[in-house]
Structure 1
Amino acid sequence: MADYSFVIGYPTESHRIELDLQDETQLSEFTMRWIRQDLQRSDSAPMDTENRLIFVKHEQSTRLSINPDGLSGSPVFSIVHDQLKDRHLRFEGIVTNARDDRFAVLPSAHIRPMLDGIVDGN
């Protein structure tokens, strides 16, 4: 069981735009800002994508809910501990789709064979 899970990504709404004061048709800065959202595992529900791990915003999270647009492909990690209470970072998978505070994650166990196939040239 995970002690803490989270997603890191660049949602569409997390950008900062500054216009050039000399020429308002030009940008002086456009920065996409990353976010971290606290997550917890959830059971599958109707309309969830099949064969995915389901995460929801953690019930004790103090972070604001976000529009998940742009988070597809974002990694989801968990901090877990072993029998000796040593903590490790586990790659859970990548977000394939989300709605509101609910994230469908392609498990890392399915990603590894795809990467191995690419490396092997298949």
Structure 2
Amino acid sequence: MTLRLDWLNEINAKMHVRLGNVLVPAKDVVSTCIQYTTPLLFDNNDPNFPIQVFGSSFLISFRRRLFQIATGHQLENSQRDYSDVCLVYSALRKTDLLSPQSTFSIKAISEKKDPLTDIRLWQYDVSLLPVLSSRFLKIFSDQFVGVPPLGAQKIFAYFTIAYPLQAVGYELTEDESALAHLRNRYIQLHLEPTKDWLPLIDNRHYFRSIDSLSDINTHPDGFSGAPVFVIYQSDDLQCHMGLVGFITDANSEGTMAVYPAQSLLSSLTTIFDSSN
């Protein structure tokens, strides 16, 4: 479902946005980001019912490593283990399930010491980078931005792309013995910063959906793990896409708590330093 993103009308038709290491026409930046946002999938190890879907996740390539990012409570709520996470992987006309090579947990806890707000990262085999590079957004340190981004002269839009649980549909075979088809859809929401969240959680940005969730018949279950982006113009009049963070909490009023991308960058840097 595509909701109103009228900021496109404000951008020069010839303007491009730097997305990773490539320039993308501004009008195409949202559709381009969609390919890097994926449902969080679990391998059931069952040929009849091979996968389960539970919420959203985001795929990035950072310093030549491949990461999938979601939240810890998606595992808790789905009663699944971190090792069950997988990606649908296609090669040589064959579709298979790809398991991660390793996983990391980032403690993103509140004053209540709630472990369910952890950010979870899964790392995939770097030898697959040539094959999987189109699935993972190549991102650089300066694209992990704050609210507002440093040096932003004008904010065009904040938005998220998520996979609500209510959009998941499992269609069975005629004899109901196996999964015939899995239906899923994403939703993109235009956001604005807010402080309308009580009690406030440590180390979060807060946003609300400009479009009422009840008006568009959408429930926030499944928003966790979804990335939040910003499109902005810098002092040099260039247009940029920044990663603001990841949704860890959302309510029916359309308000969302977002773990900051700059905190994620700090944790990723620690992971890289400790492995060297």
- Indicate the TM-score class for this superposition, using the shorter chain for normalisation: 0.7 to 0.9
The residue that corresponds to 2:267 in the other structure is 114
Is 1:7–2:182 an aligned residue pair? Answer: no
Alignment of 1:1-122 (within 5 A): 1-21=154-174, 23-58=175-210, 64=216, 66-100=218-252, 101-121=254-274
Alpha carbons of structure 1 residues 119 and 109: separation in structure 2 relative to 1, 3 Å: same
Between the two structures, name the one with larger relative contact order (CA 8 Å, sep ≥ 6): 1
Q: For residue 40 of structure 1, report the CA deviation from its aligned partner.
A: 0.9
Q: Distance in 2 between matches of 1:65 and 1:40?
A: 20
Structure 1: distance between partners of 2:230 and 2:241: 6
Q: What displacement does 1:93 show?
A: 0.5
The 3-state SS of whatever aligns with 2:265 is helix
Corresponding residue of 2:114: none
Aligned-partner Cα distance in 2 for 1:48–1:98: 12
TM-score of the pair, normalised by structure 1: 0.83
Superposition CA RMSD, Å: 2.3
Q: 1-side partners of 2:182 and 2:229: how far apart? A: 28
Take 1:110 and 1:40, find their aligned partners in 2: how far apart are those partners?
20
Unaligned 5+ residue runs, structure 2? 1-153
Distance 2:220 2:250 in 1: 6
Q: Is the 8 A contact 1:16 1:33 kept in 2?
A: no
Give the number of the structure whose residues are more often helix, by fraction. 2
Name which of structure 1's ranges 63-72 and 3-12 shifts more when overlaid on structure 2. 63-72
The alpha-carbon distance between structure 1 residues 92 and 48, as it changes in their structure 2 partners (threshold 3 A), is: same
Preserved CA contact (<8 Å) 2:157 2:231 = yes
Shift of the 60–28 alpha-carbon distance from structure 1 to 2, 3 Å rule, reads closer
Instruction: Specify which structure has the higher proportion of strand.
Output: 1
Structure 2 CA distance, aligned partners of 1:16 and 1:91? 30
Amino acid at match of 2:261: S
Q: Is the 8 A contact 2:196 2:255 kept in 1?
A: no
Aligned residue pairs total 120
1:111 CA drift (Å):
0.8
C-alpha separation between the residues in 2 aligned to 1:43 and 1:77?
Answer: 18
SS of equivalent to 2:157: strand
Structure 1 gap ranges (5+)? none
